[in-house]
Amino acid sequence: KQEVTQIPAALSVPEGENLVLNCSFTDSAIYNLQWFRQDPGKGLTSLLLIQSSQREQTSGRLNASLDKSSGRSTLYIAASQPGDSATYLCAVKVGSEKLVFGKGTKLTVNP
Amino acid sequence: DAGVIQSPRHEVTEMGQEVTLRCKPISGHDYLFWYRQTMMRGLELLIYFNNNVPIDDSGMPEDRFSAKMPNASFSTLKIQPSEPRDSAVYFCASSFGRGLSYGYTFGSGTRLTVV
């Protein structure tokens, strides 16, 4: 059974800092991995999608990497801003069409 | 495109009442998913459809839950009778072609409170 773990559960940083969020999964047989952002009381916004054959994807200040063999992904946020404060979720797509989610990392960027 | 549209945004109901949640997927998407989010269990898949046909409902917690997709642009998730432990945020998501290339798009969710 695929399990996804995100560490840390919460992170607080000062504005301007570069930071890394971690995601690990137990079964490397995935199709892709997707990072989402969730604001309080809101839905999920897709940030980046990495195919299983890819190593990384970039969008603006965000960079996501994938090491399928070791079951790890990282989301790198450069020059963090208070507007980046949210919960970040990673999810892996497995063969049964399911997205298996981690519990998320709650990020607070302090001005 | 307006994205995945869910209604209502919030629902408060009394235990024992029937609750119906609604979802309009993105036009052209052929997969539709219903997820439930709670603090304890995170996001869990309840059921998904492909071309309006239910494919996997193994995540539906009990017979009190049912879902339908009468056409490509509309799906419902019904709880009858509702119980306090059903309180959660229910998300609908859709994708094109198994979500391999473009991933999944989620709606804003319905926050259900059963009192």
Q: Which residue has the tokens 């804003």?
A: B108
Please indicate if any CB of chain B lies within 8 Å of the CB of A108: no
* pLDDT at B100 exceeding the cut of 70: no
CB contact under 8 A, B105 and A46: yes
Residue B60 has pLDDT above 80, yes or no: yes
- Please give the Cα distance from B106 to B99 (Å, whole number): 12
B103:A103 CB<8 A: no
Contact B45 A99 (CB under 8 A): yes
Statement: residue B102 has pLDDT above 90: no
Q: Point out the residue among B43, B50, B108 whose CB comes nearest to the CB of A42.
A: B108
- Count of C-beta atoms within a 10 Å radius of residue B5: 15
Task: Extract the tokens encoding B103.
Answer: 């991933």
Quote the pLDDT of residue B99.
Answer: 60
Q: What is the pLDDT averaged over residues B89-106? A: 83
CA distance A97 to A95: 5
A110 inside 8 A of chain B by CB: no
Integer Cα distance of B78 and B58 in angstroms? 16
Residue B115's nearest CA partner among B14, B39, B46 is B14
Q: Do A99 and B33 touch (CB under 8 A)?
A: yes
Q: Enumerate residues 6+ apart whose C-beta is below 8 A from A8.
A: A22, A105
The answer to whether the CB of A87 falls within 8 A of the CB of A107 is: yes
DSSP for residue A9: S
CB contacts of B58 in chain A (<8 Å) are none
pLDDT digits (tens, 9 = 90+) for A46-87: 999 999 999 999 999 999 999 999 999 999 999 999 999 999
